[in-house]
Chain A
């Protein structure tokens, strides 16, 4: 209302002309924009969807090839995949992913809290360093890590392999969590501190619960990273009994000279199931949002 009044004062009579002229073009622009966005998303969606359809189709099709075809439904491919050790490999992946996620999340939460709340010398340099590390390819570190592992006798141990997997996730998790904890108002910790609470208890009772959505995101990312890990377990753990899923699929693919598309697709589906379940479970949690509502005014 006020804009009309002002316009009328400045140039009497022109106000409604301005209004009517600007609204339709504005709308058109918005609609065009929407159309473009949706079209792009649609094309991208199809590009991603096709391999998925192929995967599901082939997994249930006993005569699967590299091309799509009408499925003759059967679970034979799944049986073949399990017979080739898919079950054990997934169990191994689960171990690596869970252990590395626990370690990485704990370490990065503590580090992020310290970086967020404490005066740390050269903090911004340190944080930039951390950010730089997240971009470093793991391959670079793998040979020296292997040397160290052999030296310490850590090779072929799922636990120590998890440790390395955790280490590869920590920089990004620290970065993510530091920024998340920065958003948690400090007054909550102050209110707890004035009650005589120790810092450990404040961390446990206040900071961690309030940062839980962020911690969960960091944990999921770590989990997925470790779940799909290929190179690290391949190099650091040569024990066939410890082979995780990603390596298992690779070995299965090249095992018999010709690629068995059906069982391979079934293996792939079995291997991705836990991640899908994880997403479904966590999306609920994450929907809870990052709310500090009601805690502080304004």
Chain B
């Protein structure tokens, strides 16, 4: 079992002037399930490849299990990896692909056969054992790649989008299987994904990266509720958080934020941040579920009039896109809300979770 520590890890590729990964500090606890998310090209794969030893950090230290790994060969790191592009051996059958590592480690023949049968059953690839990778679909290949990694008891798992090519049902099932395996053998796992549901449901903690830099490292709930900046807020959550240009001003009784056609007196934690501010441009963020049809129960809450542009009934809920002047917002309303395009509605903003960001830097203010 192993703790993974990255200290100031930077990776510069030859011929590129921006770093693929920049000054990354990260600690993955022993047995933790860490999920790495971020937009394409943000350095997720590069980070994993540095952990595996395929890339040497340009600066910084990689430690696994308390041992500095910078100069340790991949074969001596005792890790298992699922490659983003699978990297199944094309000249071997699925069975041989799965058996490869165990043969290298001189596992007795009988247990090789048994373990392959077990893992193949779990991944539903038992019928494919005799085929070559070229004769498999993308999702099947991916499951073989996953199987090859799971046949190890390594210090840590490095999984690069291991479920990206599966259909929704299979993905949900594999998610549960992976969590079950992790509960049974709590091996430190670094799991890269594009899928927010995977990030939120599987992670002990989530790392969000952008442009090679760590944006935030937090539990899924914290990431959702307490984003450090506007980028994190808009990356996490679906549909995306609504961000409106706004302005904080002082009137006689204290700071007030105005956005769209509404304005709202800042109080509590929000208020304290702006006590000393005369006026300031901010970005105001509301998640889609924080906007609802006006009830009028709390006259303090900001309310705007909007025109419905698009109604997306999802069965359990309805996503409604509405327009306020130049701006468009998305809200999550109950199922069968009875709205249709062109309707005029009054929308009420629940300010309990309202987020305010500095317009220029995007940093969260309150």
A contact residues around B87 at 8 Å (CB): 185, 187-188, 190-191, 295-296
Residue contact B77 to A194, C-beta cutoff 8 Å:
yes
B76, B89, B152: the one contacting A191 at CB < 8 Å is B89
- Decide: A194 near B81, CB < 8 A? Known: A201-B104, A294-B90, A294-B133: yes
In the complex, A293 has a CB within 8 A of chain B: yes
Question: What's the minimum C-beta distance from B84 to chain A, rounded to whole angstroms?
Answer: 8
B contact residues around A209 at 8 Å (CB): 91
- Decide: A295 near B100, CB < 8 A? Known: A191-B81, A194-B81: no
- Decide: A206 near B77, CB < 8 A? Known: A293-B134, A294-B136, A297-B138: no
A294, A296, A297: the one contacting B132 at CB < 8 Å is A294
B contact residues around A292 at 8 Å (CB): 90
Q: Of all chain A residues, which has the CB nearest B134?
A: A294
Q: A297–B137 Cα gap in the complex (Å)?
A: 11
Residue contact B104 to A197, C-beta cutoff 8 Å:
yes
Contact with B along A175-209 (1 / 0, CB 8 A): 00000000001011011111111100100011001
Residue contact B75 to A295, C-beta cutoff 8 Å:
no
Q: A206–B101 Cα gap in the complex (Å)?
A: 13
A contact residues around B136 at 8 Å (CB): 294
Residue contact A190 to B83, C-beta cutoff 8 Å:
yes
In the complex, B114 has a CB within 8 A of chain A: no
Q: A145–B84 Cα gap in the complex (Å)?
A: 53
In the complex, B4 has a CB within 8 A of chain A: no
In the complex, B332 has a CB within 8 A of chain A: no
Q: Of all chain B residues, which has the CB nearest A191?
A: B87
Q: A185–B54 Cα gap in the complex (Å)?
A: 13
Q: A185–B138 Cα gap in the complex (Å)?
A: 18
Residue contact A194 to B132, C-beta cutoff 8 Å:
no
A contact residues around B132 at 8 Å (CB): 294
Residue contact B54 to A298, C-beta cutoff 8 Å:
no
A contact residues around B83 at 8 Å (CB): 187, 190-191, 296
In the complex, A291 has a CB within 8 A of chain B: yes
In the complex, B278 has a CB within 8 A of chain A: no
Question: What's the minimum C-beta distance from B150 to chain A, rounded to whole angstroms?
Answer: 13
- Decide: A295 near B88, CB < 8 A? Known: A193-B74, A195-B104, A196-B104: yes
A contact residues around B148 at 8 Å (CB): 191
A193, A201, A205, A291: the one contacting B73 at CB < 8 Å is A193
- Decide: A210 near B85, CB < 8 A? Known: A194-B77, A197-B104: no
Residue contact B85 to A296, C-beta cutoff 8 Å:
yes
Residue contact A194 to B85, C-beta cutoff 8 Å:
no
B contact residues around A291 at 8 Å (CB): 90, 134
In the complex, B267 has a CB within 8 A of chain A: no
Residue contact B88 to A294, C-beta cutoff 8 Å:
yes
Q: Of all chain B residues, which has the CB nearest A210?
A: B91
Q: A291–B132 Cα gap in the complex (Å)?
A: 12
Q: A127–B286 Cα gap in the complex (Å)?
A: 61
* Residue from A190, A195, A294 having most chain B Cβ neighbours under 10 A: A195
Residue contact A194 to B104, C-beta cutoff 8 Å:
no
In the complex, B163 has a CB within 8 A of chain A: no
Residue contact B85 to A190, C-beta cutoff 8 Å:
no
Q: A196–B90 Cα gap in the complex (Å)?
A: 19
Contact with B along A269-294 (1 / 0, CB 8 A): 00000000000000000000001111
B contact residues around A294 at 8 Å (CB): 88, 90, 132-136, 141
B54, B79, B81, B89: the one contacting A295 at CB < 8 Å is B89
Residue contact A196 to B78, C-beta cutoff 8 Å:
yes
The residues in A between 230 and 264 inclusive whose CB is less than 8 angstroms from any CB of B are none
A contact residues around B74 at 8 Å (CB): 190, 193-194
Residue contact A298 to B78, C-beta cutoff 8 Å:
no
B contact residues around A198 at 8 Å (CB): 75
A contact residues around B90 at 8 Å (CB): 188, 210, 291-295
Q: A190–B49 Cα gap in the complex (Å)?
A: 10
B contact residues around A197 at 8 Å (CB): 75, 100-101, 104
Contact with A along B85-121 (1 / 0, CB 8 A): 1111111000000001100110000000000000000
Residue contact B54 to A190, C-beta cutoff 8 Å:
yes
**Which 4 pairs from chain A and chain B are nearest by CB?**
A294-B134, A294-B133, A195-B101, A295-B90
Interchain residue pairs with CB less than 8 A apart (17): A188-B87, A191-B148, A192-B100, A194-B81, A195-B75, A196-B75, A196-B101, A196-B105, A198-B75, A201-B104, A210-B90, A210-B91, A295-B87, A295-B90, A296-B87, A297-B84, A297-B138
